[in-house]
Amino acid sequence: MEKTRKILLSEKEMPTKWYNIMADMPNKPMPPLHPATKKPIGPEDLAPIFPMELIKQEVATDRYIEIPEEVQDLYKTYRPSPLFRAYNLEKSLGTKSKIYYKHEGLSYAGSHKANTAIPQAYYNKLEGVKRIITETGAGQWGSALSFACQYFGIDLEVFMVRISYDQKPSRKLMMNTYGAQVTASPSDRTKFGREILEKHPDSPGSLGIAISEAMEIAVQDSDTKYALGSVLNHVLLHQTIIGQEAVLQMEIAGELPDVIVGCFGGGSNFAGISFPFLKLNFTEGKNIRFIAVEPASCPKLTRGKFMYDFGDTSGMTPLLPMYTLGHNFIPAAIHAGGLRYHGAGVLVSQLLKDNLIEARSKKQKECFEAGVLFARTEAIIPAPESNYAIATAIEEAKMADEEGVSKTILFNLSGHGHFDLTSYDKYFGGNLEDHELTNEEIEKSLSEIS
């Protein structure tokens, strides 16, 4: 019997609008607050760092927002992305459940980050911006933005978290090849970076620190804007292209997922796959479950506190209502660099608070074990971040088997692991460590900010 392994959409079938969950979520998030006045911020507060179209999207309440034609056109360098049925993985598990995955690793940057890099660069270009500064963790966001900026004629400087800069030199070279300049963070290029280095000369860095450095330069230079690869509403909005395609593809497969899984750093790939299916829960009475999976070493969703906190370490961003471990929190140097972030996006935090989604944490060795099984069955070597989603999809399949039921499980394969093979090597050599925080460590980190 002939199997269909993957469901493709033609370019003509690619959605032409982003889905804005603000229109449908029952409780809207509380507003971001100005760090000085503690009053809700207005568009003018964000204007120095973001182009106005992105600020509008940050607060938009329309259900759909048109994807500009030039953005659609560049999406087509890699989109629509295929949706795979994981037949080989299912067989090796001996599960009765069906496992599907949306493969975002085929983009030029190797992950979903291109979905927001392209529109962010585009809207900056429309406003005549000549230079952007950003941060990157594992390097996927930086790579994605590097090409997009090159294409639209914008200079890009990237602050790359030190531990990833050292672990993944080829990610830096990829950004260089696309024409961007890359600096390891913390760096001596900024006041905040120098302060950190003075106290912790061996700091592995964090996304929070890298954001602070990038913003410090952006606000000083009126010709320079800042760009963020996750957390913010407009970023999550852009990622909904993933889930909207997947809704169409699951329809073609003739299935509705029982459960949808995404790994979780700031929320962008999880939101991308989930929000368009959450709409089905909100507007069509479906009952799909959603699981955000975070590292046990950076458990803001499962062990953090819902409160107003800064998005960066130095306290330059607006205060955001979110699950957080405290903006001073420096996660252990695990290999899923894209998940090493102290907070969670506002939209996803609100949905979790309202019990509309679930969260789970996992240690890295179990996730690498799942990633190796996936590689050896489905042929694709996943990014360490994606391994958290794979491990959870496998766990859900096993739980269903124990219950004696068959479930339809969909996860987002956020990226490939071509630049992460040294971490697999460490796994095979028994040199990966699992990190779990004590309650005291979490309380200490949170007490510093409340």
Q: Is residue 131 part of the contact set for its own copies (CB under 8 A)?
A: no
Q: Considering the complex, what minimum distance in angstroms separates the CB of residue 243 from its own copies?
A: 21
Burial class (CB in 10 A: 0-12, 13-18, 19+), 431: exposed
- Contact region for its own copies (CB under 8 A) — 6-14, 17-25, 199-207, 215-223? 6-14
Q: Considering the complex, what minimum distance in angstroms separates the CB of residue 152 from its own copies?
A: 12
Residue 27 or 177: which CB sits closer to its own copies?
A: 177
Q: Which residues, 425 to 444, sit near its own copies by CB under 8 A? A: 425, 428
Q: Is residue 6 part of the contact set for its own copies (CB under 8 A)?
A: yes
Q: Is residue 47 part of the contact set for its own copies (CB under 8 A)?
A: no
Residue 317-346 contact track with its own copies, rule CB under 8 A, x = bound: ------------------------------
Q: Is residue 130 part of the contact set for its own copies (CB under 8 A)?
A: no
**Identified binder of its own copies from the candidate list 365, 418, 435, 444, rule CB under 8 A:** 418
Q: Is residue 56 part of the contact set for its own copies (CB under 8 A)?
A: no
Residue 104 or 216: which CB sits closer to its own copies?
A: 104
Q: Is residue 181 part of the contact set for its own copies (CB under 8 A)?
A: no
Q: Is residue 197 part of the contact set for its own copies (CB under 8 A)?
A: no
Q: Is residue 70 part of the contact set for its own copies (CB under 8 A)?
A: no
Residues contributing to the site for its own copies (CB under 8 A): 2-6, 8, 10-12, 69, 73-74, 76-78, 88, 106, 108, 110, 147, 150-151, 170, 173-174, 176-179, 372, 375-381, 418-419, 421-422, 424-425, 428
